[in-house]
Structure 1
Amino acid sequence: MELIKVIIRDKLFYVVLVIIAAVSSAMNFNESNNADLLAEYYQSEKVIDTLDIESEEEKQVLGMTLRDSLVQYAMTLQGRPYKYAGKGPEVFDCSGFTCYVYKRFNVQLPASSTLQSKFGAETATKDVQKGDLLIFKSPTTGVNRVGHVGLVVSNANGKINFIHSSTRRGVIVDSLNHKHYKARYLGARRVLTD
């Protein structure tokens, strides 16, 4: 009886080995024969080019720059709700929103507003351009550190508008001149060098 148990146990062992080998072989076959599909699936999201124009010269002729494309894309996300640690595409916190927008154009930003406040080059407020980051203190009373970030939409005659993910209103455009933001404003950072 003991001998039969050993044989059954050993056969079961070999059956399991055969199954593992078959599954492994099938996975290798699938990976090698579908490599192009896997690469396409795992590739990062492609840059959205709303004008479908090939060359940078053509974009310049039509007045469409990377900054324009970035802001135009950011504006399509208006109304998405705020959620702490939300990285998109359906919900965003402030730094998740700026990261998500820039990532669509193959630019990687740090994940937090604090790290974004040190990224790129410091820029004078009067010189900000579309796509620059605006850095703000935390809205919490008594907290004197970076706690919010937004993306410049326009700077016309010193009137700066920016888009951001507001805790109460979600993704929205606001003015830097609004007293709530003006009082918390810490500075601007230029990420794009064009």
Structure 2
Amino acid sequence: MRKMLLTVVCTVSFGIVQAQSVSTVTEVPTVTSSKPSFYEQIPLVNEVINYAKEHLSIRYRSGGTTTRGFDCSGFTRFCFTKFGISLPHSSAAQGSVGEAVDKEAAQPGDLILFKGHSSGGNRIGHVGLITEVIGDQVKFIHSAWNGGVRYDYLNASYYQRRFMGIRRVAHLLTEK
């Protein structure tokens, strides 16, 4: 089911990009942005996500930044570094990288940020990488102290209470 859904998303996205590139005789001049659209970045975003998936079940290690064990920010940093994006090694610092995005506009490849263990605090203490968004379901991969690198969903009450925001960093993949 996931593979079929991913195929449909990629096919539709490819169609959108192709439709945008078709020109007509009566084409109206458009203003071009210096940043590529999200859909133009899908192949590279998918590469980051697929790379993250290769590390499922690697154990959690406080301060970990390698395949011997990751903490949450060490994991996101590890995944993005492979593709040329240097993220800081702290979830709070990663919360200031890229652009803030509304939850309703979340896309695969975005960072998702949470409070730490205490839902009463107001500081970022955990980060993950969004892998899928279907309707209001946001699935993310992260390194959790109780399970290592794994998937979770934002709609789980634990994560809903701790949700702090989303940051888009995928556009940095093309700014080398």
Q: TM-score, normalised by structure 1?
A: 0.66
Distance in 2 between residues matched to 1:108 and 1:81, nearest whole Å: 23
Q: Does 1:105 align with 2:83?
A: yes
Residue 64 of structure 1 and its aligned partner are, at CA, apart by 5.8
Match of 2:4 in 1: none
Percent of residue pairs bearing the same amino acid type: 36
Match of 1:79 in 2: 57
Do the aligned residues in 1 keep the contact of 2:63 with 2:70 (CA within 8 Å)?
yes
Residue 128 of structure 1 and its aligned partner are, at CA, apart by 1.0
Distance in 2 between residues matched to 1:107 and 1:182, nearest whole Å: 28
Residue 142 of structure 1 and its aligned partner are, at CA, apart by 4.5
Distance in 2 between residues matched to 1:142 and 1:173, nearest whole Å: 24
Letter in 1 for 2:103: T
Give the alignment's Cα RMSD to 1 decimal. 2.0
Question: What SS does structure 1 have at the residue aligned with 2:159?
Answer: helix
Distance in 2 between residues matched to 1:142 and 1:131, nearest whole Å: 28
Do the aligned residues in 2 keep the contact of 1:114 with 1:147 (CA within 8 Å)?
yes
Do the aligned residues in 1 keep the contact of 2:141 with 2:152 (CA within 8 Å)?
yes
Q: Which has the higher contact order (CA 8 A, sep 6+)?
A: 2
Correspondences of 1:110-149 after superposition (within 5 Å):
110-140=88-118, 142-149=120-127
Letter in 2 for 1:147: G
Match of 2:141 in 1: 163
Large movers: runs of 4+ above 2 Å: 140-144
Residue 110 of structure 1 and its aligned partner are, at CA, apart by 1.1
Distance in 2 between residues matched to 1:165 and 1:134, nearest whole Å: 12
Residue 112 of structure 1 and its aligned partner are, at CA, apart by 0.5
Residue 131 of structure 1 and its aligned partner are, at CA, apart by 1.0
Match of 2:43 in 1: 65
Residue 145 of structure 1 and its aligned partner are, at CA, apart by 1.1
Match of 2:68 in 1: 90
Letter in 2 for 1:111: H
Question: What SS does structure 2 have at the residue aligned with 1:153?
Answer: strand
Q: Larger strand proportion, structure 1 or 2?
A: 2
Do the aligned residues in 1 keep the contact of 2:119 with 2:161 (CA within 8 Å)?
no
Unaligned 5+ segments in structure 1 are 1-56
Do the aligned residues in 2 keep the contact of 1:89 with 1:100 (CA within 8 Å)?
no
Larger radius of gyration: 1
Match of 1:177 in 2: 155
- Count of residue pairs brought into register by the alignment: 135
Distance in 2 between residues matched to 1:155 and 1:85, nearest whole Å: 29
